[in-house]
Amino acid sequence: MHDEYVLSRYLIASDIVSPDHHPDPSRLLFASRTGKSLLVKERVYRHLQAGEFERIDAATLRQLQSDEVLVPPTDDEFLDMLGKNRLAISETRTLSLTLQPTANCQLGCVYCGQQHVKKNLDDDTSARIVDRIMGTLQRKRYQQLAINWYGGEPILALKQIEDMSGRLIERCEQAGIGFFASMVSNGLSLKPDVYLRLQRRRVNSFQITLDGLARTHDLMRPVKAGGGSFDIILQNLVDVTALPEFAANRTSVTIRVNINRRNHDKVVELIDLLADRGLATRNVGLDFRPVVDWGGNQADRDSLAAAEFSTREIDWMLHAIQRGFQFDGILPARTIAPCMVVMPDAEVYDAYGNIYPCYEYPYTPKYDSPKYKIGHIQSIDQVRNDQAVTREWYTDIRSGMSPCPRCPLFPVCGGGCAKQWYNGETAARRSSSICRNGWCWTTGCANGNAGARQRRLRRPSELDSEETGRPPHPHAAPPHFTPSRSIR
């Protein structure tokens, strides 16, 4: 019976921990095949490592199988997971698209790889895009349409957003298809009246960037016309989130903080300021990110090393939690795709009518080449490039261009940013933005022990290694974290 399953390669184990409510030696296991975390006794873990499954009680064995710590034998577990991903993608019933209705932006962010011009979608191009979207929805029998408005700065094309959204919403309702939308904005023009106009077009989720306090933010994200933007954006956030419509419609805002050596020492102060302005209790979240290269601009040259960034991120997250912010999904969940590039119908449309597989391609000189484009809205029915760079990621990933086939976190990652792998921007880069090389975090369960939360979660095969070090992975658990299962 016990030869019917083996220990999954997609398993990461912590060092030994002994939280207060479980005084016996235990370990945290993270089963990345399912995204489940388990607290197991050390003796159970030793039996798993030795393949002594017959020495584990039946109830525990069933749980380990359910969470896919133990799995049926297979020739190649990576190919099995890749196949599961492909199957799940084929069964997806939500069509996700990114629309970039303008090539313009008020800011000249130091790390942005785009070149901005005053160009918005024209009426003919927007009408063609709407027709193509509806054709795809009905041909593939999708049940929902998810639009992400991006730029440039999308609010500079507010009229186009309202017009296109109105047509899409009307036609989706006629076809019985759900519609929802999100927006990535710099926040400079997101006044309460603009929010209400967007909300009427079902934009209910926003990402807005604040790079530290005013001094660092205004240096990293300067207004092209001169002057600062931080105070305006912050006040817009306070005003918009205070609207009764914001709460009534369950709108959410994620404040993204792009971090390098210019501003890493201001993150805690930013958290405090945002909390003091009441944002922690208004469905506002935080997302800490390293500054990365964009289109070969080497914007990551001042970024923190991955290990340093991840160590600091733990402290930022814990401080934010103490100030009232919440973090959902701190441990990564099972995912079928790293991003939109592997979804066959997911597309990006820019203000010129170009169609791309990745939202970082438009308006970026490095990617202004046919090999990066799926096509153009005026000729897409006749000329289509299904091999646009990144589009074949789930095929090319098998070629050895990345360490993904060997990584124990592949089921919760899918390979990270495919664009960076194709560009040769490997995890050895300073910011290590593509992946964290199989590292993860643990807090020591319920006691919030500072030392325990700095322990590296290691592959089971590394059980006898004594290395500890600073773990360079951003997935951290708060002090009150408890595992999905506790197996004694």
* pLDDT tens digits in sequence order for the chain, 488 residues long: 567 899 999 999 999 987 666 567 899 999 999 999 999 999 999 999 999 999 999 999 999 999 999 999 999 999 999 999 999 999 999 999 999 999 999 999 999 999 999 999 999 999 999 999 999 999 999 999 999 999 999 999 999 999 999 999 999 999 999 999 999 999 999 999 999 999 999 999 999 999 999 999 999 999 999 989 999 999 999 999 999 999 999 999 999 999 999 999 999 999 999 999 999 999 999 999 999 999 999 999 999 999 999 999 999 999 999 999 999 878 889 999 999 999 999 999 999 999 999 999 999 999 999 999 999 999 999 999 999 999 999 999 999 889 999 999 999 999 999 998 998 765 444 434 445 433 333 322 222 222 323 333 333 332 222 222 222 222 222 223 334 454 54
Are 59 and 473 contacting, i.e. CB atoms less than 8 angstroms apart?
no
In a domain, 28, yes or no: yes
Concatenating the DSSP letter of every residue in 213-267 gives: SHHHHHHHS-BTTSS--HHHHHHHHHHHHTSHHHHHTT-EEEEEEEESTTTGGGH
In a domain, 300, yes or no: no
Are 206 and 190 contacting, i.e. CB atoms less than 8 angstroms apart?
yes
In a domain, 460, yes or no: yes
Domain range holding 54?
Answer: 2-74+436-487
pLDDT of residue 434: 46
Tokens (6 digits) for 16: 């030994």
Q: State the pTM of this model.
A: 0.86
In a domain, 133, yes or no: no
Which DSSP symbol is given to 57?
-
Could you tell me the end-to-end alpha-carbon distance of the chain, in angstroms, rounded to an integer? 22
In a domain, 6, yes or no: yes
Rounded Cα gap, residues 430 and 437, in angstroms: 13
Concatenating the DSSP letter of every residue in 167-208 gives: HHHHHHHHHT-EEEEEEEE-STT--HHHHHHHHTTTEEEEEE
Count how many domains the chain has: 1
Q: How far from chain centre, in Å, is Cα 372?
A: 22
Rounded Cα gap, residues 253 and 153, in angstroms: 16
Strands 11-13 vs 26-31: parallel, antiparallel or unpaired:
antiparallel
In a domain, 15, yes or no: yes
In a domain, 18, yes or no: yes
In a domain, 464, yes or no: yes
Residue with tokens 């029998």: 141
Strands 348-349 vs 284-290: parallel, antiparallel or unpaired:
unpaired
